[in-house]
Structure 1
Amino acid sequence: MLLEGTILRGREFEPVDGRVVIEDGEIVDIEEADVRSEDVILPAFVNAHTHIGDSIAKEAGEGLSLEELVAPPDGLKHRLLRQADRDDLVAAMRRSLEFMATAGTATCIEFREGGVEGVRAIDDAAEGTPIDPVVLGRETVEAMEASDGFGASGAEDGDFTRERNATGRAGKLFGIHAGEVDSGDINSALDLEPDFLVHMVHAEELHFERVADSEIPVVVCPRSNLVTDVGLPPVRDLLDRTTVALGTDNVFLNSPSMFREMEFTAKLTDATTPEILRMATVNGADIAGLNCGLVEPGRDAELLVLDGASDNLAGAQDVARAVVRRAGVSDVKDVVRGEA
């Protein structure tokens, strides 16, 4: 299989004209050449933090605080999830996954409420869709054993030492929310030596030093943090110290569009175009232990093809910058999913 156009190549997303050669679902070569195609080829996105179950209640909870919205066990989302009919829940999650696939997302790292049954529900939702999410069970060790790891709500919600140890023994992924509302839970979260942290809006210098020393990655969700009025993550401070990835967080607060997340981050922070593209692709892939996220030989061919001649993108003087700051779902021409 050959893809032709302007290729955003490697970790710097340097635009080169040519062809991507794919065999057996793997990128085997990038041939620089003059080509007629105006397509733009880049890695498909990795949405590094989602709560897909919230798809049953999009735009619910206007005016509520973060605690009233999502705090376990009685925040609005948890009440709605308990009340939801299973078939309705699965159908809503499937529609979000289908949208994400259409919008160029290869996979997501999902914090899945509901214990083992919650894991089974998203497995059912994902069946037959182009996305195979990385699912982190919550609430119980059994949910971790039934999924790809454990997604902890936050160190102030309980002692997750048992779950962390069990996840480590199983060789699975452990992530935890930290520093979303205030800084009080960050040190306790870091003490668990997680595979990654989520949010870190209220991180302070001590926390930056600990993150740098431990090299623990951080997933930031700027649109979600703005909607819940907790502030904006210190993206530059984090980028200067560790691997940073992007997530869209709760579906009932934000569309799970990585295009929107990139644009928002680009226009509200000083992160560079290559940094934001890495945050939306390879950094999330690295956190999840996946072999996608870059256009380079040896990587899985999880790729996004944009129509560079669309009314929205035509005439872009800086292709990579245009992808970050102005591209959208309507510009998607194809999503290649590791197929020869």
Structure 2
Amino acid sequence: MLKEEKISGRAFIGSDFDLLDVEITLENGIVTDIEESLNVSERWIVPGFFNAHTHLADTIAMDMEAPGNLSELVAPPNGLKHRLLREAHPSAIIDGMVSSILYMQNSGVFGFCDFREGGIEGVNLLKNALSKTGSAGVILGRDGGESYADGIGVSSTKEGGDVIQRAIETKKRGQIVAFHAGEKDSRDVDSALDAEPDMLVHCTHATDSQLKRIADMDVSIVVCPRSNWRLGVSWSSANPPIKKMLDYGCNVLLGTDNVMFVQPDMFSEMSFASYAYDIAPIDLLKMATKGSSFFNKPFYIEKGKPASFFTILPSCSNMRFSHSVQKTITNRMNKGDIERIYFKHIEK
């Protein structure tokens, strides 16, 4: 049976995020028509977010007392998080991941890319969690798990061993290759680029020459500003050099990193990046969404695409006084401001 629904309001349309007054027609969860209109409801229609870097299994250690530097906390194989994961019961890890995925969905995040530790078993735990949620998840495995996932997520070339060879083999299979790089310093950026990855995460301390090389190679960068500050690898707006990344023409995506330290909330991530790095609101919105397109799960509001957006009623709060829809969404919104979620898998 055909189920038709019409939603009217001010919407961000297409990959350029053109802000237009429109009426959107849905048929069985698919956008079948977008018509500009002069008389629309007082409603904002926003494409769903994609969290381009997570470690969801860390949910089991949320806000645990964790003194120590970056390596002591998260570096494999014996960083605190890795020890906790080895000791945790699989059902607890799954429960934690499901809870964080549902939190993301309810805050407008319909997809994510997760670096999944634990080899094949670790990948299967996240697949189990995904089966319970309907989210558009991308899994990058490690320690042999990459063969059963969407690709490989390498901690750093500094971990040595055969990680470069594994990345090369993953690339040959046509899967995604991603590295943490440049988080503490710039020493592992060039070696990661030598493996011709699809994506680098952090680049907190990437140099100008490295950023140019990244742009020339068309390698995407995922920045995680709150995590960088929380873990003490950033202390100013120069790190990560987000403005330089954008100026060089890099494809910059937004992620939240370890749930152990940072809530997987893209509203908070955008707000922090706005204030601490002075990034333009439209750039932040694109960074928070276009990871979906990079991972071939586009959430743009376009005719023929599955519904992947949420709505806001500014009249229900002080947001009705906004002079800039983009700035208000990136600086002030939280999940409580969402009127309704339209996502083909989790319609609410």
Q: Shorter-chain TM-score category?
A: over 0.9
The alignment status of 1:271 with 2:305, answered yes or no, reads: no
* SS in structure 2 of the partner of residue 175 of structure 1: strand
* Deviation for aligned residue 1:269: 1.5
1:92 alignment counterpart: 96
Aligned with residue 50 of structure 1, among 49, 54, 69:
54
SS of the counterpart of 2:104? helix
After TM superposition, the structure 1 = structure 2 runs for residues 242-257 of structure 1, keeping only pairs within 5 Å, are: 242-257=250-265
Q: Please name the residue that 2:240 is paired with.
A: 233
Aligned residue among 165, 177, 186 for 1:183: 186
State how far apart, in whole Å, the 1-side matches of 2:156 and 2:318 are. 41
Tell me what 2:325 maps to. Answer: 319
Paired with 2:305 and 2:253, the residues of 1 have a C-alpha distance of 19
Partner of 1:173: 176
Q: What CA distance in whole angstroms lies between the structure 1 residues aligned with 2:186 and 2:104? A: 32
Aligned residues: 336
Distance 2:41 2:311 in 1: 11
Structure 1 CA distance for aligned equivalents of residues 118 and 65 of structure 2 = 20
SS at the partner of 1:68?
helix
TM-score using structure 2 length: 0.92
Deviations 1:252-275 (A, max 9, x none): 111000000011111112321111
Please tell me the residue identity of whatever aligns with 2:76. Answer: P
Contact 1:155 1:189 in 2 (8 A): yes
Aligned AA for 1:234?
P
Give the AA of the match of 1:335: I
Task: Give yes or no for the alignment of 1:334 onto 2:345.
Answer: no
Q: Give, as a single letter, the amino acid of the residue that structure 1 aligns with 2:269.
A: E
Retained in 2: the 8 A contact 1:293–1:302?
Answer: yes
Q: Contact 1:312–1:327 at 8 Å: present in 2 too?
A: no
What does residue 307 of structure 2 align with?
301
Q: CA deviation at 1:36?
A: 4.7
Call closer, same or farther: CA 1:136–1:76 in 2, change over 3 Å.
Answer: same
* Mapped contact 1:69–1:77 kept (Cα < 8 A): yes
Counterpart-to-counterpart distance in 1, 2:136 and 2:17: 25
TM-score scaled by length of structure 1: 0.94
Distance 1:94 1:113 in 2: 16
Q: Return the offset for 1:308.
A: 2.0
Give 1:279 shift.
0.1
Q: How does 1:1-340 map to 2 (within 5 A)?
A: 1-140=5-144, 143-158=145-160, 159-231=162-234, 232-241=239-248, 242-282=250-290, 284-290=291-297, 292-338=298-344
Moved runs in structure 1, 4+ residues, more than 3 A? Answer: 23-26
Distance apart, 1:6 and its partner CA: 1.2
CA distance in 1, matches of 2:315, 2:134: 26
1:38-69 per-position Cα deviation (integer Å, ceiling 9, x unaligned): 22111100000000000001012443211111
Q: How many Å separate the matches in 2 of 1:152 and 1:270?
A: 30
Contact 1:15 1:320 (C-alpha < 8 Å) held by counterparts: no
Name the SS of the counterpart of 1:313 in structure 2: helix
- Counterpart Cα distance in 1 of 2:33 and 2:172: 38
Contact 2:23–2:40 (8 Å) recurs in 1: no
Structure 1, unaligned runs of 5 or more: none
The CA distance in 1 between the partners of 2:136 and 2:293, in whole Å, is 16
2:336 maps to a residue whose letter is S
